[in-house]
Amino acid sequence: MKRKLILQIIVGLAALFLVGGFCGYALAARPGAATAPLPKSEEIWLEKHYQETVSRVGLDADQASKLLQHYDRLTSEIRAIRENTSRQLGEAFARHKDHVLPDLTPDQRDRYEALVSERKAARSR
């Protein structure tokens, strides 16, 4: 009885190890991996949810592969939303600057432009 239980545990752990290895390989080799990366926290979140779904739902390798395709699509959608939001923020800041500049003296405009440049440089670090 004990040997059967131990064997079941070993087989289960081996299967879990193989699924994890497959998923890690598939994520590393996926086609969209070279495009604009998501922030590390979002990558970790997506990977965690993918792995949790595979293990808790009990997906086989084929189902895990299909699920990975769905997560790739979700990643692309998140990236598109992030890029669109970034573009819209840039446009809003440009409009803000256009509204602020007329209220400033020439000297203040120069200082304001320097401040905007400093802030932009700090964001890109």
Q: Looking at the domain assignment, is residue 71 inside a domain? A: yes
H-helix segments, the chain: 2-29, 40-57, 61-100, 106-124
Q: Looking at the domain assignment, is residue 90 inside a domain? A: yes
Q: Looking at the domain assignment, is residue 110 inside a domain? A: no
- Which structural domain range is residue 13 located in? 2-100
Question: Crossing angle, helix 61-100 and helix 40-57, to 10 degrees?
Answer: 150
Q: Looking at the domain assignment, is residue 49 inside a domain? A: yes
- Type of residue numbered 49: H
Question: What would the two tokens of residue 50 be?
Answer: 């993918």
Proportion of the chain above pLDDT 70, given as a percent: 78
Pick from 65, 77, 93: nearest CA to 38 = 77
Q: Looking at the domain assignment, is residue 29 inside a domain? A: yes
pLDDT of residue 23: 60
Q: Name residues of the chain where pLDDT drops below 50.
A: 32-34
Q: Looking at the domain assignment, is residue 116 inside a domain? A: no
Question: What would the two tokens of residue 68 be?
Answer: 């990975």
Q: Looking at the domain assignment, is residue 113 inside a domain? A: no
Q: Looking at the domain assignment, is residue 112 inside a domain? A: no
Domain count, the chain: 1
pLDDT of residue 33: 47
pLDDT of residue 99: 95
pTM, two decimals, is 0.54
